[in-house]
């Protein structure tokens, strides 16, 4: 899965899955612009990757995936640093938790903007800049298929990402651009470790995961690296579950579990 000479952009690159994707691409020979809203954190992450994997392989860029101007600036920065972009990993995401009846309209808009609009803007910029060959890998979610109480906006946004992946794959295939997605299950990240992996909640996630463990960022990152590589040269328009088999059994109603745990504490 050699990616030597490729120039990549990874959104949400400051931590978690995005940082794991960036590391995996660099390890396979690519140079990566880490794109994240938190400028200080993303610059620190890029410096850490360069210290670990070699100078001149990573750079940080602070900006919002919901801004077309920031996307244009990110592509300019990546091209100036590493050459024309040939790989894009649309990984940035955001969510909160509330039942539909209580869901704040601003939270709905933010989730849709970051997860769905951000992915769209990245694909659009790539399509207008890259003549091909090229590869886009979007981050969808198990929640695109497994409806879960309390995160209607996230489920809807990730379903949109999976469908957008198919449409973009069909439209961009004649240009030699492949578009795929990964759909992670419960993965050990700074966000999930804030309560989803511990106690009864964690036990229920594991009970619904046939492989019996939580995912790690590198599990998702390896799948992204494969889809970005020539080894997946005949693969486009798919959303690949990377969830230890979680899609087989679906998800527990973890909103209900959270309420029960809170009531018992």
Asked if 241 and 183 count as a contact pair (C-beta separation under 8 A), the reply is yes
Tokens representing residue 60 in the block? 């940080």
Please indicate, yes or no, if residue 15 is contained in any of the structural domains: yes
What is d(CA 189, CA 183) in angstroms, rounded to the nearest whole number?
Answer: 15
Please indicate, yes or no, if residue 151 is contained in any of the structural domains: yes
Helix (H, G, I), strand (E, B), or coil: what is residue 35? strand
Please indicate, yes or no, if residue 263 is contained in any of the structural domains: no
Q: What CATH number is attached to the domain comprising 83?
A: 3.40.50.720
> Active-site residue numbers?
154
Please indicate, yes or no, if residue 13 is contained in any of the structural domains: yes
Please indicate, yes or no, if residue 262 is contained in any of the structural domains: no
Asked if 252 and 205 count as a contact pair (C-beta separation under 8 A), the reply is yes
Provide the domain count of the chain. 1
What is d(CA 246, CA 111) in angstroms, rounded to the nearest whole number?
Answer: 23
Average pLDDT for consecutive 10-residue bins of the chain (265 residues)? 91 97 98 98 98 96 98 98 98 96 98 98 98 96 94 97 98 98 93 77 90 95 98 98 93 86 82
Encode pLDDT of 194-242 as tens digits.
667 888 888 889 998 999 999 999 999 999 999 999 999 999 999 999 9
Q: Which residue's entry shows tokens 């040939």?
A: 86
The whole-number pLDDT of residue 199 equals: 85
What is d(CA 184, CA 216) in angstroms, rounded to the nearest whole number?
Answer: 10
Asked if 38 and 14 count as a contact pair (C-beta separation under 8 A), the reply is yes
Asked if 61 and 45 count as a contact pair (C-beta separation under 8 A), the reply is no
Please indicate, yes or no, if residue 43 is contained in any of the structural domains: yes
Tokens representing residue 217 in the block? 């960022």
Residue 233 belongs to domain spanning? 7-187+216-245
Please indicate, yes or no, if residue 172 is contained in any of the structural domains: yes
Record the pTM: 0.95
Q: Which residues pair with 264 in a beta bridge?
A: none
Q: Please provide the DSSP assignment of 106-156 as one string.
A: HHHHHHIIIIIIHHHHHHHHHHHH--SSEEEEEE--GGGTS--TTBHHHHH
Please indicate, yes or no, if residue 26 is contained in any of the structural domains: yes
Cα angle 44-47-49, degrees, rounded to a multiple of 5: 110
């Amino acid at each position: 899965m050699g990616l030597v000479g490729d120039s990549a952009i990874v959104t949400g690159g400051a931590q978690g899955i995005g940082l794991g994707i960036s590391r995996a691409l660099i390890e396979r020979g690519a140079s990566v612009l880490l794109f994240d809203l938190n400028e200080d954190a993303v610059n620190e992450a890029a410096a850490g990757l360069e210290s670990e994997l070699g100078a001149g392989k990573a750079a940080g860029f602070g900006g919002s995936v919901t801004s077309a101007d920031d996307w244009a600036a990110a592509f300019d920065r990546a091209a100036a640093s590493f050459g024309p972009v040939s790989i894009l990993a649309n990984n940035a995401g955001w969510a909160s938790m509330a039942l539909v009846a209580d869901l704040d309209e601003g939270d709905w808009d933010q989730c849709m903007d970051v997860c769905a609009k951000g992915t769209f803007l990245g694909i659009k910029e790539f399509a207008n800049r890259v003549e091909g060959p090229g590869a886009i890998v979007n981050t969808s979610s198990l929640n695109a298929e497994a409806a879960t109480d309390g995160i209607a906006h996230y489920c809807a946004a990730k379903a949109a990402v999976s469908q957008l992946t198919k449409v973009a794959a069909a439209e961009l295939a004649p240009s030699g651009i492949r578009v795929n997605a990964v759909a992670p299950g419960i993965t050990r990240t700074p966000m999930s470790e804030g309560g989803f992996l511990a106690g009864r909640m964690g036990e229920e996630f594991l009970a619904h995961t046939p492989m019996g463990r939580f995912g790690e960022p590198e599990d998702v990152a390896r799948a992204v690296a494969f889809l970005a590589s020539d080894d997946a040269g005949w693969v486009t328009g798919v959303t690949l579950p990377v969830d230890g088999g979680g899609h087989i059994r679906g998800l527990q109603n973890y909103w209900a579990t959270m309420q029960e745990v809170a009531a018992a504490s």
